[in-house]
Structures are given as C-alpha cells and as structure tokens.
Structure 1
C-alpha cells in the first residue's frame, strides 16, 4: 500500500454553516477517529486530498499531520468514508480512521480483469459480477488492486472469488463462492415477429381456373 503525507487543521466550529465556510476556502470538512483518538473535527485541502486519492487509490496510507493551537502531531490514517456532491461528484466530507501499522485491517481492493477469454474469441460475452473484493492484511500489505488473468475462461465457465490468487500475507474475506466473472454463450439474434410469422404462415392455395361457358367455340 502506498503512503503519502497530508496536512490537516483541527476545526473549532462544526455544523452545516461552518462546513460551508470551510468548503468556500477550498478545504474539505471531515472527522478523525479510531485507535487512541477521540472523534475530532478536521479540515484538509481539497486539492491535496484529491491528488492523494487519484494517484494512489482509496487504500492509500496517509501520514496526517494534525495542527492544533500551534502544535502538530502526526497520525497514520486511512480514508474510511467519502461523501460527494450528488451533482458535481466533488468531495464534500471525509472520514479518517487512525490505525496501527502492527494490526491487520479489512479493505476493499479493486479487481482488474486482463486478457481476452477463450470464450469471447468463440463469440461469447464476458460478464464481470464483482468489481472489488474484501481482504484482510497489515496496512502496509494491502494491495492497491488485484489483477486477474481471464484469458483461459471458456464459454459457460465461472470464475469465483475462491479462484483468485492473493499476495502472501493477505487473506481473502469475500466468500469463496461469490461469482467474479463468467463468459455467457453467444447471443442468437431472433427474427422480428412479423418476419417470423410470415415465414411460418401456410402458403395460400392457388386460385381455381375460370370455368368455360358451354357453347364457346372449340
């Protein structure tokens, strides 16, 4: 797991009005809690937080330098939760959890599928059911992502969570029978209903020849 530094200020004011003022200055309101820490309202610079997450992912380890009344202390934290604006998707609140590097934690790790399945080459369709899995490991051992080679997956085959290979020191907590991906059979295009009905309808009988009137010359 990557590790970055981030500056934070302890907030003296809380509430919606105070949070709006923080955001107007280009900062994000948040809270710090966890091991050996009382719940503390904090604020971090939006750009710095965005860069940390964009460059290293949600599981990045953060050395949070907490400034309060002229003093500073550093805590190792992870991002436990993010809230985003429903329209702009910008970060509007963050939860930091203080952790110990000597104790395991659980984290959601993204799955990245690589390779073209044999079943897709044969006309099948790859369907991914899981985008991430839950693992447990020491904070420094949590992988940024798990890369899964699906090139040998044939039509009808299913890849389960229990089939995944995880690094040493990492325990998979997602149930082993959870479906990660499968290759569906090729789709058969059906004829439009009108065309199908026309193809199945019996041919109309031929019209009878007109009767010849008696007395007509032969």
Structure 2
C-alpha cells in the first residue's frame, strides 16, 4: 500500500480567534498525536486536504505527513484519527492525526460497503443497517479500505452476522461473531415497532400526569 502524502506547517498560536482566521485564509487547524505524550499543533492547506479526501481512501490509508518545508525528511507515518466538520456548512474545521509504527498492530474503524440489489428490498422490504463501520485489528499496511457485503441473495428476514464475513488476510474483525450487521425487514415489522413505541409513550404519560396531581394534592393538604 503506497502512503498518501500531505504537507503541513507548524502552528504556534492557538485559540478560537486564531482558528477562525486560519479558516478564512483557506487553512485548517490540526493536531498530531505523536507516539507517547507528544502533541504537535499544525496548519493544513484546505484545498490540498479536500483533494486528498476526495479520493475516498485517506480515512483508512496510511498518510505520510510532511511537516515544514524540509522535503528531505521522509515525514511521519500517520492515520486520520478524527475529522471535525461544521454541522450545517459541511466544511472541515479541524483534523486530528495519530502517529503510528508500521510494525505494530492497531485498531481502526473500516466502513461497510453494500453491493447488489436485495430480492427482499425489491419485494417491498427495507434495510435495517445496524453498523456502518466495523472495528478491525491489523498492521497499518493491511488496513482494508472497506468491508464489502453482497446483499443480492438476501430476502425479507435474512440477516448478515460477523461470523459470515470473510476478513482480508491479516485482518481480525473485533466484534462478536453473532453481532448482526444488517437485516432485511418487512414493512409490517417496521410499522409494528413504530406502533409499539407509540403505545409505550402513551402508556407512560398518564402515570407522570397522575403523579404530578397527587403531589399537588399532597401539598394542598
């Protein structure tokens, strides 16, 4: 797996005001969590980061983070630990990186990708997706870009559990083997669940009101 390269500059100042100014200038504040207790404040170019993320591989691939203008150094091997996005405007306002050692096993989250068209969904069923990411353990150069599940033969009532997945070589899925990743459910099943939820809410409301009245009557006495 070839590491993707990203350039960064050291950031000396901190605070909300500094971060806002950086974003106005087309830059993104970031932090590198080094091995041990070391943390380094950084600045990224917004366009370079967006271009890197557009390929869809940066969140699980090893990145070669080049800090400063000295291109003679090989850079640090890192993974993206967290990307913070604005809740409404969708732009990135902070990134956390984690420095890694290429010979040490680590735990990462890998996206689940579905392929095919389920027979059950074609017949009116719905997809109940319990987990869109799975935690795996492996060496950094063995991190899969995704875990693919073919749902073509799935009918209403069928489920996919961890035990039915074939993990890539050198990769261990850390969830319980009986963990349900997804299920094809019928429309009636969803309606029943919604009705039960509504009934539960309605059944609890009179108790709260009654309790309040009893407390008021007790206070009047």
The answer to whether TM tops 0.5 is: yes
CA contact (8 A) 2:61 2:143 kept: no
Equivalent residues, number: 189
- 3-state SS of paired residue (2:22): helix
Give 1:187 deviation, angstroms.
4.1
Q: Looking at secondary structure, tell me which structure has more strand per residue.
A: 1
- Asked if 1:162 is matched to 2:163, the reply is yes
Which ranges of 4 or more aligned residues in structure 1 deviate by more than 6 Å?
68-71
Cross-structure match for 1:137: 138
Gap regions ≥5 residues in structure 2: 192-221
* TM-score normalised by L of structure 1: 0.77
Q: In the aligned structure 2, how far is the partner of 1:42 from the partner of 1:50? A: 16
- Asked if 1:127 is matched to 2:116, the reply is no
Give 1:104 deviation, angstroms.
1.2
Q: In the aligned structure 2, how far is the partner of 1:19 from the partner of 1:69? A: 25
Q: In the aligned structure 1, how far is the partner of 2:92 from the partner of 2:2? A: 21
Please identify the structure whose Cα radius of gyration is greater: 1
- Asked if 1:21 is matched to 2:33, the reply is no
Cross-structure match for 2:67: 66
Q: In the aligned structure 2, how far is the partner of 1:52 from the partner of 1:134? A: 23
- Asked if 1:52 is matched to 2:79, the reply is no
- 3-state SS of paired residue (2:38): strand
- 3-state SS of paired residue (2:30): strand
Cross-structure match for 2:3: 3
Of 88-97 and 144-153, the range deviating more from structure 2 = 144-153
RMSD: 2.5
CA contact (8 A) 1:117 1:126 kept: no
Give 1:123 deviation, angstroms.
4.3
Q: In the aligned structure 1, how far is the partner of 2:142 from the partner of 2:32? A: 23
Q: In the aligned structure 1, how far is the partner of 2:8 from the partner of 2:181? A: 38
Q: In the aligned structure 2, how far is the partner of 1:124 from the partner of 1:27? A: 46
The CA deviation string for residues 102-153 of structure 1, in whole angstroms up to 9 with x for no partner, is 1111111111111223433554333322211111111111111111112222
Q: Looking at secondary structure, tell me which structure has more helix per residue.
A: 2
Gap regions ≥5 residues in structure 1: 191-218
Q: In the aligned structure 1, how far is the partner of 2:105 from the partner of 2:97? A: 17
* TM-score normalised by L of structure 2: 0.76
Give 1:50 deviation, angstroms.
1.5
Give 1:2 deviation, angstroms.
5.5
- Asked if 1:148 is matched to 2:152, the reply is no
